């Protein structure tokens, strides 16, 4: 069963189409990255599939249920908005206790303390939220979104404004939640974060999905050539010339230097053949690195 599926999902306001015929298929238990510039339509799509606004046309299913029956699934969904609002005079513990009652949960004191510990707020259990830093509020928002153990979790900028150590902790928590079977729908402006965490990524532009796939699929789609950096033993000028001549038929561009070479090929299949040329000429290779485009580079090339 897919955690989320949309079929030609569309939202218009007057003559302006904000979300245009979007098809998404998100497997259960995956971490799905959803990217796009401000105004691309990401928030509108999320608002539709979480029941905050109604689609103009198209349909969607959440956890196997039609979007028309979304109200019955609200206890199965968790949401962390980019900017969470809290009651300033409540403590972290009081907040979670209040929200678990709203969700008609029956968590014990120890259950709530475990959730706060999971997000790194074990030292602020009884501290009022008005004394929280922005990063602490972000952690409390995550705790609030997972207290009922949702099957589908929407995380909007989960690590913005938090320190480096907290980022690592949140990343570990996201992976742990996914391993336990929860599907995570992640939006973030931190492209490195999305690249590291997500099983699949979709990039939205002007209301439409511009591209979608695993990181490897995106690289293969947008990488025109493959650049290989090779660190090898020192070569004489004569050896450099011989090596370059032997690689001519395999490579699109060849830069041979004394200790390092940069080889450009058209496909991954040619890399072993390039390495074989070094071996045939008794040139010891210390390290071979393939230069791959980052998610940031792919994202910018789609602009």
What's the per-residue H, E or C state across 140-209? Answer: HHHHHHHCCCCCEEEEECCCCCCCHHHHHHHHHHHHHHHHCCCEEEEECCCHHHHHHHCCEEEEEECCEE
Phi–psi pair at 69, nearest 5 degrees: -110, 25
Do 162 and 55 share a domain, yes or no? yes
Do 100 and 125 share a domain, yes or no? yes
Q: In this structure, is residue 102 part of a structural domain?
A: yes
Q: In this structure, is residue 127 part of a structural domain?
A: yes
- Domain containing 127 equals 2-213
Q: In this structure, is residue 278 part of a structural domain?
A: yes
CATH code, 208: 3.40.50.300
Does pTM top 0.75 for this prediction? yes
pLDDT tens digits along 205-260: 999 999 999 998 898 888 778 899 999 999 999 999 999 999 999 998 999 999 99
C-alpha 158/C-alpha 161 separation (Å) is: 9
Cβ count near 160 (within 10 Å): 16
CATH code, 259: 3.30.70.980
Contacts (Cβ under 8 Å, ≥6 apart) of 196: 171
Contact 253, 276 (CB under 8 A): no
Q: In this structure, is residue 203 part of a structural domain?
A: yes
In this prediction, the residues of the chain whose per-residue pLDDT falls under 50 are none
Q: What is the secondary structure of 220-235 as a DSSP string? A: HHH--SEEEEEEES--
Do 232 and 189 share a domain, yes or no? no
Contact 34, 47 (CB under 8 A): no
Do 17 and 124 share a domain, yes or no? yes
pLDDT tens digits along 234-243: 999 999 999 9
Do 39 and 186 share a domain, yes or no? yes
Cβ count near 243 (within 10 Å): 19
C-alpha 137/C-alpha 91 separation (Å) is: 11
Do 203 and 236 share a domain, yes or no? no
Number of domains in the chain: 2
Do 56 and 114 share a domain, yes or no? yes
Give the dihedral sign, CA 60/66/69/72: negative
Q: In this structure, is residue 301 part of a structural domain?
A: no
Q: Look at residues 213, 248, 271 and tell me which one is the last residue of a structural domain.
A: 213
């Amino acid at each position: 069963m897919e955690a989320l599926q949309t079929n030609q999902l569309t939202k218009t306001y007057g003559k302006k189409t904000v979300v245009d015929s979007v098809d998404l298929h998100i497997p259960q238990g995956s971490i799905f990255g959803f990217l796009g510039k401000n105004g691309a339509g990401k928030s509108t799509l999320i608002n539709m599939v979480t029941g905050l606004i109604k689609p103009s046309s198209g349909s969607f299913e959440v956890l196997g249920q039609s979007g028309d029956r979304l109200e019955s699934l609200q206890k199965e969904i968790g949401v962390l908005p980019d900017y969470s609002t809290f009651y300033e005079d409540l403590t972290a513990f009081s907040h979670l206790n209040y929200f678990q009652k709203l969700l008609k949960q029956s968590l014990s004191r120890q259950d709530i303390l475990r959730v706060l510990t999971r997000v790194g707020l074990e030292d602020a259990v009884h501290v009022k939220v008005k004394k929280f830093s922005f990063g602490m509020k972000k952690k409390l928002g995550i705790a609030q979104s997972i207290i009922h153990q949702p099957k589908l979790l929407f995380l909007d900028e989960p690590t913005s404004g938090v320190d480096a150590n907290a980022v690592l902790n949140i990343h570990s928590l996201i992976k742990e939640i996914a391993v336990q079977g929860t599907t995570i729908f992640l939006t973030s402006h931190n492209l490195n974060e999305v690249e590291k965490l997500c099983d699949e990524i979709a990039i939205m532009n002007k209301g439409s999905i511009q591209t979608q796939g695993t990181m490897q699929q995106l690289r293969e789609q947008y990488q025109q050539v493959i650049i290989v950096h090779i660190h090898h033993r020192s070569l004489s000028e004569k050896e450099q010339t011989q090596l370059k001549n032997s690689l001519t038929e395999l490579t699109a561009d060849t830069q041979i230097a004394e200790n390092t070479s940069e080889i450009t090929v058209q496909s991954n299949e040619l890399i072993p053949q390039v390495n074989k040329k070094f071996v045939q000429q008794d040139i010891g290779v210390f390290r071979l690195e393939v230069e791959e485009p980052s998610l940031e580079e792919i994202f910018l090339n789609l602009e």
